[in-house]
Chain A
């Protein structure tokens, strides 16, 4: 088993203190980076193949490269510590184990994009974690790793902690920006992307905690070393938050490309009570569910995509044979119906509607048409029909559950209940409406 990188300090005494961090060679990467040209830092990160750890797997160097050089406006860096996708709890672990690793990563990122102010947006429930960050920031200021003229290189950076207040949609980057600006956390239409016009209308880079925590390691050991870990397109290690039916749930760090079987059976000790695996969600609640047959899929961006799901945030939810999939989908939809910010009709109404249907099915009052309606909702609310990807996030589970466990759903809607007289209303399919045709293509 590989030695952990991001969680190397786990289990150390006083792992959060600056002294411990320095003992691990901490802030060495900043010393290196701040005497490099910012362009070379970006090049190094590009060469390492690092991809964003928040879900979509956007190459980090590429994203930084989009920040306009000479806009004349200040630039901002935001660390997204609003971890809120059900099944994901890895960023909290980094903050609890090694907050200085995150701060060092932020200094490097801020230097690369020429930002002098950075915010850590942390979810309001993480009260103690916010204090840990404040404490670490205080230590870093005292030792001149933050503030004016860092390590006498002439680079200035201030980092502030900004607490959210219990709106999970604020983990979406534009909602997060709205929230920092003091408004309701409602996502903005993109483009413009935050890299062009984000916080206070200025170029802004939003990166996940785990992404930022990788940076010191890359600078320290070189891009080639980082690229040699994992697979060709998914480099480095990844934190997997494993929850549900495993012997020892928790956060595990493994090289990308490790199979889910290894993670579940070797690292987490398998399924408890001698039961069998039924299904697992590989990347947080919005990733499509996979069945036990797919357990040998390597956990890297491309292989999981090929298996029909996404690696997402690495929130691995494991379910054993006793689990009722209709119940699981109902539970997930409760989350999305609750979190929809309400701006877009397909998301607001679709998630609530789908939830209602699931509740009805679970009360034994479903009818076969309900499954058809679910499919149509899932087709209707995704792929660009909504302002932010939360629309897709609730459609993917619906589609994948019906796809892979359709039998259970069909059984649930036909199990001996009287046929209902009123037919559920049916949504138009996408093709019914010419307004959805792409410009320049013929409407169908």
Chain B
């Protein structure tokens, strides 16, 4: 599908991931996923995960390709992508830092950790460092409230943080 046939979607950017085609490996994965459900549409979330794993984020092009493969409309796919906060419709930094700002973590001192984090990285929530290394987000409860304060960096949790620990942790990712 070329860009002039379909008007650009509103949220996702078209630019970065242009060549979308589902190669044999991806096609196998999709078939495997489809086998688990009695309706095609149910494969949408797992397929989105598979694509995000491959390309790092979900561009408008990927949405269109998925829509075509699963017989859905691109707008519908976008509506789903934008509902779920973990699907990224923009390219993120290499390390996505997600800090829990909910009650239990705050009671255990998440406040100072967050301030320190913003200060060291020089960015606020929702921003990416100029070198494209870190993206910072605030999230609600990550489900490990007993070990707060907690940060999720890509797929991993880092728990029981304080400001010194945080400094050490960030050095590891520098």
Q: Which residues of B (43-71) have their CB < 8 Å from a CB of A? A: 43-46, 48-49, 70
Say if the beta carbon of A285 comes within 8 Å of chain B. Answer: yes
- Against B, the Cβ 8 Å flags (1 = close, 0 = not) of A226-266 are 00000000000000011111000111000000000000000
Interface size band for B:
35 or more
Minimum Cβ distance to chain A for residue B108 (Å): 7
Chain A count of residues within 8 A CB distance of the other chain: 52
Q: Which one, B41, B72, B83, contacts A184 given CB within 8 A?
A: B83
Contact with B along A336-362 (1 / 0, CB 8 A): 001100000000000000000000000
Question: Which chain A residue has the least Cβ–Cβ distance from B81?
Answer: A165
Known: A165-B49, A165-B85, A323-B107. A184 touches B144 (CB 8 A): no
Query: Using Cβ atoms and an 8 Å threshold, which residues of chain A touch B163?
Result: none
Question: Of B103, B147, B152, which one neighbours A249 at CB under 8 angstroms?
Answer: B147
Please determine whether B144 and A89 come into contact, CB atoms closer than 8 angstroms.
yes
Do A317 and B107 have beta carbons less than 8 Å apart?
yes
Give the residues in chain B near A162, CB-CB below 8 Å.
45-46
Residues of chain A within 8 A (CB-CB) of B80 are 182-184
Q: How far is the CB of A25 from chain B (nearest CB, A)?
A: 29
**Is A431 an interface residue when CB atoms closer than 8 A count as contact?**
no
**B23 interface residue (CB < 8 Å to A):** no
| Chain A nearest CB, measured from B69 CB (Å) | 13
A167 to chain B: which residues have CB within 8 Å? 83-85
**A9-49 at interface with B (beta carbon < 8 Å):** none
Q: With A124-B86, A182-B45 given, is the CB distance from A168 to B107 under 8 Å?
A: no
**B86 pairs with A88, CB closer than 8 A:** no
B21 within 8 A of A: no
**Chain A positions within 8 Å of B101 at CB level:** 331, 334
Whether B86 lies near A165 (C-beta < 8 A) is yes
Rounded to whole Å, the gap between the CB of A269 and the closest CB of chain B is 13
Chain A residues, Cβ within 8 Å of B139 = 125, 166
Q: Is the pair A125, B142 in contact by a Cβ cutoff of 8 Å? A: yes
A-B contact pairs, 12 of them (CB 8 A): A86-B102, A126-B143, A164-B84, A166-B86, A167-B85, A182-B70, A182-B72, A183-B44, A183-B80, A243-B107, A244-B103, A335-B102
A276 to B137, CA, bound (A): 34
Closest to B148 in A: A243
Residues 98-141 of chain B: 1 if any A CB is under 8 Å from the residue's CB, otherwise 0?
00011110111000000000000000000000000000000111
**Distance in Å: Cβ of B5 to nearest Cβ of chain A:** 24
Instruction: Please determine whether B107 and A244 come into contact, CB atoms closer than 8 angstroms.
Output: yes
Q: Does A51 contact B (CB under 8 A)?
A: no
Chain A residues lying within 8 Å of B107, measured Cβ to Cβ, are: 243-245, 317, 319, 323
**Which residues does chain A contribute within 8 Å of B38, judged by CB atoms?**
74, 200
Interface of chain A residues 181 through 195 with chain B (CB within 8 A):
181-185
- Digitize B144-167: 1 where CB-to-A-CB distance is under 8 Å, 0 elsewhere: 111110001001100000000000
Q: A125 vs B86: C-alpha distance in the bound complex, in angstroms?
A: 8
Partner of A84, one of B36, B39, B104, B141: B141
The answer to whether A87 touches B145 (Cβ under 8 A) is: yes
Q: B56: shortest Cβ distance to chain A, in Å?
A: 15
Tell me if A180 and B143 are in contact (CB < 8 A). Answer: no
B143's partner among A125, A160, A182, A317 (CB-CB below 8 A) is A125
- Among B104, B108, B140, the one with the most A-chain Cβ atoms within 10 Å of its Cβ is B104
A160-B84 in contact given A123-B143, A244-B104 (Cβ < 8 Å): no
Q: Are A251 and B146 in contact (CB under 8 A)?
A: yes
**Cβ–Cβ < 8 Å partners of B144 in chain A:** 89, 92
B contact residues around A123 at 8 Å (CB): 143
| Residues of B close to A285: CB separation below 8 A | 102-103, 141
